Structure 1
Amino acid sequence: MLRIWGRLSSINVRKVVWAVQELGLSSVQRTDAGGQFGIVREPRYLGLNPNGLVPLIEDDQTGTVLWESNAIVRYLCARHAPGELYPEALPARFVAEQWMDWQQTTLNPAGRDAFIQWIRTPAAQRNDALIAASVAATEPLMAMLDAHLARQPYMAGERFTMADIPLGCEIHRWWGLPQERPARPHLERWYNAVSSRPGARGVLDLHLS
């Protein structure tokens, strides 16, 4: 049994669920946790994940306990799809790693304020300056992604890999905000391809919350 702790309103939980679905794993149990569901401050949970955040996985077969979404995606792909979703050749693997790190350290922080203001802040309390600053920080990164995907079909090269999962979740969140955005033809082509994958169902077709 693979146990996943986390609510689907979390972008980081969505990454893990998408990876699980891409891999076709069947012995999986997901428990809502975090936000209104609580659990993450309970002693047992904190003993497994001292950050008190989601997601968390427990892989009974290997005895592995992991937190941090991109690390979980890497683990699952390495364990269940080596040479496929998890590239075996070092250059391809570390290009994938590079983009996964970039999503977490650069793209996600840039877009966070706009997401929080549009989706999780009551309209009367929204801070337009925070939204504007977030847009100003994020759109150049979207242009960078568009230029990258003009040269190749997927984030790490010619085929879908673990790198496309975190980026796909991030674009789903950014493009789901009720704001205008410039046309990005190469990014749009890529997003249409990844979002139409069976593994993305129930993840990239969810409303933001």
Structure 2
Amino acid sequence: MLKILGKAPSINVRKVLWTCAEIGLPYELDEWGMGTSRPAPTREFLQLNPHGLVPVLVDGDNVLWESNTICRYLAGRHQRADLLPPDPLARAHVEKWMDWQATDLNAAWRYAFMALVRRHPDFTDPAAIAASAAAWNRQMATLDAHLAATGAFAAGDTFTLADIVLGVSVQRWQATPISHADLPAVRAYYERLRQRAAFVSHGATHP
């Protein structure tokens, strides 16, 4: 059985749990991270992931970290071409939105989220919070325009891994107490995702 080291509220762990649910994979969740009984990485944990971050996937003798990479591995390992197409161009259209989520979108929301949700003492500058919220809305507007063009999901008509990593990000944007841009395509997208049982279980909870 797969072992996932992490905690269910983590946005990156939720990507992996949602992917497992879509594929129908059983797993053991071994709780690690802030808010659990093991908040700090041990030497043994660092041997699995030298960066000390969750999630970590243990599949037999194989160990992986980085949430988007884990999601790609699971889809490929179980031949879920619907989630990650084998055709190079179709796959690239999925992966470009996964990479955008991990880079541009994450960079935009970090300060506002850490300040307003995590209440971290290092994130208290009002100007920086406002700038982060504005950047976050701009990035979400980019997603909104794209979803308006596809009329359905990130890579086109069908649900893919891109929608897993974007879905948890949309939920975080909605749950964070900022002034939200009016993005009708994002709202419709979120409602489409809410029709999936795996999203309700793993994507639609926690900020």
Q: Quick check: TM above 0.5? A: yes
Q: Give distance in 2, aligned partners of 1:87 and 1:4.
A: 24
Q: Give distance in 2, aligned partners of 1:44 and 1:87.
A: 35
What is the identity, as a one-letter code, of the residue corresponding to 1:135?
A
3-state DSSP of counterpart to 1:193: helix
Q: Give distance in 2, aligned partners of 1:89 and 1:14.
A: 27
3-state DSSP of counterpart to 1:5: strand
Cα offset for 1:42?
Answer: 1.1
Equivalent residue number for residue 33 of structure 1: 32
Normalization by structure 2: what TM-score?
Answer: 0.92
Task: Quote the RMSD (CA, aligned, Å).
Answer: 1.7
What is the identity, as a one-letter code, of the residue corresponding to 2:155?
A
Q: Give distance in 1, aligned partners of 2:67 and 2:40.
A: 15
Aligned pair in 2 of structure 1 residues 131, 74: CA closer, same or farther (>3 Å)?
same
Structure 2, gaps ≥5 residues long? none
Q: Is the 8 A contact 2:168 2:204 kept in 1?
A: no
Q: Give distance in 2, aligned partners of 1:162 and 1:102.
A: 13
1:153-168 mapped onto 2 (5 Å cutoff):
153-168=152-167
What is the identity, as a one-letter code, of the residue corresponding to 1:7?
K
Structure 1, gaps ≥5 residues long? none
Equivalent residue number for residue 76 of structure 2: 78
Q: Is the 8 A contact 2:75 2:81 kept in 1?
A: no
Q: Give distance in 2, aligned partners of 1:163 and 1:104.
A: 11
Q: Give distance in 2, aligned partners of 1:3 and 1:127.
A: 39
Alignment deviations for residues 28-68 of structure 1 (CA, whole Å, 9 cap, x no partner)? 100110113226521211111111110000012xx321000
Equivalent residue number for residue 98 of structure 1: 96
Q: Give distance in 2, aligned partners of 1:40 and 1:66.
A: 19
Q: Give distance in 2, aligned partners of 1:97 and 1:190.
A: 18
Bigger shift: 105-114 or 39-48? Answer: 39-48
Bigger shift: 181-190 or 103-112? Answer: 181-190
Aligned pair in 2 of structure 1 residues 165, 175: CA closer, same or farther (>3 Å)?
same
Equivalent residue number for residue 42 of structure 2: 42
Misfit runs of 4+, over 6 Å: none
Equivalent residue number for residue 194 of structure 2: 195
Normalization by structure 1: what TM-score?
Answer: 0.92
Q: Give distance in 1, aligned partners of 2:104 and 2:115.
A: 19
Q: Give distance in 1, aligned partners of 2:24 and 2:166.
A: 20
Q: Give distance in 2, aligned partners of 1:39 and 1:3.
A: 18
Matched, 1:174 2:173: yes
What is the identity, as a one-letter code, of the residue corresponding to 2:51?
N
3-state DSSP of counterpart to 2:29: strand
Equivalent residue number for residue 132 of structure 2: 134
